[in-house]
Structure 1
Amino acid sequence: MNCLFWNIRGIGKGERSMTIRKFVEQKKVSFMGLVETKHRRSIRNRMKRMWGNEEYEICEVYASETNRGGVIAAWDTKTFNVSNKHSGSRWILLEGCVKNFNFECCVGVIYGHNDRVGRFAMFEELKQLMLAISKPILLLGDFNVVLHPRERIRSFRCDRSMREFSEWIIDLGLIDIPLHGVKFTWRRNESKSKLGRGLCCQAWMRNSQI
């Protein structure tokens, strides 16, 4: 199951829709997560243009009234059959089955809060839900926090946030999926950070052909 994740910083119109479609077609994407979409009305009618066909489904979390946030998950219904949808103000979790492998699992799209208190509350909420679901899990997201000091250059460092993020990953038995080709996912002037990442459990890794 090929997955695409993008902090799109506003889904906009036209050009970005076509960029998404090119990714979907070229990489044969079957699951897509978009965050910081800033959309406050459903994009369901626009998704066909972005996905390229009608064999998809979506789950949306709208941006706030100040146009902050916004999360979208979209998936190929021929590949992934969703049985339960869970969502919060900045996240989506989908329980389902990867059809070709009859693999019951949970896939999530996360957009972390900018502040430590908000992130911690979100992590606790997600941890309780994921432990209750108790299925192999894949999380794609911009967590807005780094895991190690080396993942941040010339920007504010918060050891407490890193420790809480690390403990959350350990509590859930997750593995940090290595990035290839890039070290950082966010940049502003000379500041760089690895804020976007994929996390999965051992069971998902053992079935990595999915």
Structure 2
Amino acid sequence: MKKNLFISWNIRGLGSLDKKAAVKRLVQKLKPSVLFIQESKLQVVNDRIFSRICGNFLNLKMVFSGSAGAAGGLISLWDPNFFECESSWIGLSFIVLLGKFVGSNIKCVLVNVYAPSLVEDRKELFVELIAKLENLKSSLIIGGDFNTVRDRSKRLGVSFNKRASGDFVDFIEALGLSDMPPHGSQFTWSNYRDAPSFSRLDRFLVSDNILVLWPDLFQQVLPKSISDHNPVCLSCIGDCWGPRPFKWFESTLDSLEYVDLIVQTCSGSSSIGIMPLLSECKKSD
């Protein structure tokens, strides 16, 4: 499979030429396989806007959800040589693309999310997405601005809402998603005030079978430019973005064959410590 790169960015308005040029630079430089844009603040995305944000990278396909006045607006773009979109669901706060990865017949659902700022509205969105996605027999990759954090440590200089965090955690757990630790920065949004605030509002969430498909998957917070949100990148390109995490799935323990492998490996090993032993088990698998 070709190298893959997913990018999500809350651009905070695509009306100005500077914002369009910033997206174009990102597309031209990184050539993403999938690009999710939130808060375009555009009711219509026409061919002229498409060409301004894609430049000469015009092989991308596009679906958009128009803004409600000057609020919201989503754009999802993808490379048809990487992902074959078979159908889509479009709402005010999400775009769902149903299809498969080209050349692999692996079914996948790609979801672009811009969650509402109000707690009750955001919970309604999570409930709606769970109802739409939980029974699909497909891998999930969900990216966007969730407008909330998972725990208190992901906010600095701004109040923490425990209830809102709980709703988000329930959403992640209901769909069996993994939230990989970010590289580059712990936060994806900050204000420009004298007393700054920071939050991790933007991220990708993936189902465990995506991690099996791409064991080298990384989540990277890219440098901030023209928006108060950082772009977030999901990639399994072999760049050195830090030490590779050891991935362990509890379902592994359901396999008696794998349990026997662990026992045999550990019995015949002279290594001391859990990480060396786990690494040997991984090599023996």
Q: TM-score range by the shorter chain?
A: over 0.9
Q: Structure 1: 5+ residue runs without aligned partners? A: none
Q: C-alpha offsets along residues 29-70 of structure 1, whole Å, 9 cap, x if unaligned?
A: 1110000110012233321232223312111111112x0000
1:70 aligns with 2:76: no
State the distance in 2 between where 1:108 and 1:123 align.
12
**2:58 alignment partner, one of 54, 61, 64:** 54
State the distance in 2 between where 1:44 and 1:119 align.
31
Secondary structure of 1:161's counterpart equals helix
Report the equivalent of 2:92: 89
Q: Give the alignment's Cα RMSD to 1 decimal.
A: 1.5
- In the alignment of these two chains, the number of paired residues is 209
TM-score by length of 1: 0.94
Report the equivalent of 1:195: 201
Once the two structures are overlaid, the 10-residue window that deviates more, 48-57 or 28-37, is 48-57
Q: Structure 2: 5+ residue runs without aligned partners? A: 217-235, 237-285
- Compute the displacement of 1:153 (Å): 0.9
What percent of counterpart residues are identical?
A: 25
Report the equivalent of 1:111: 114
Secondary structure of 1:155's counterpart equals coil
Q: Match for 2:198: what amino acid?
A: K
- Compute the displacement of 1:146 (Å): 0.4
**1:179 alignment partner, one of 159, 173, 182:** 182
1:147 aligns with 2:153: no
Secondary structure of 1:77's counterpart equals coil
State the distance in 1 between where 2:206 and 2:118 align.
24
Report the equivalent of 1:5: 8
**2:211 alignment partner, one of 198, 205, 209:** 205
State the distance in 2 between where 1:131 and 1:79 align.
24
Report the equivalent of 1:133: 136
Secondary structure of 1:132's counterpart equals coil
Q: Match for 1:57: what amino acid?
A: K
State the distance in 1 between where 2:201 and 2:46 align.
26
TM-score by length of 2: 0.70
Report the equivalent of 2:261: none
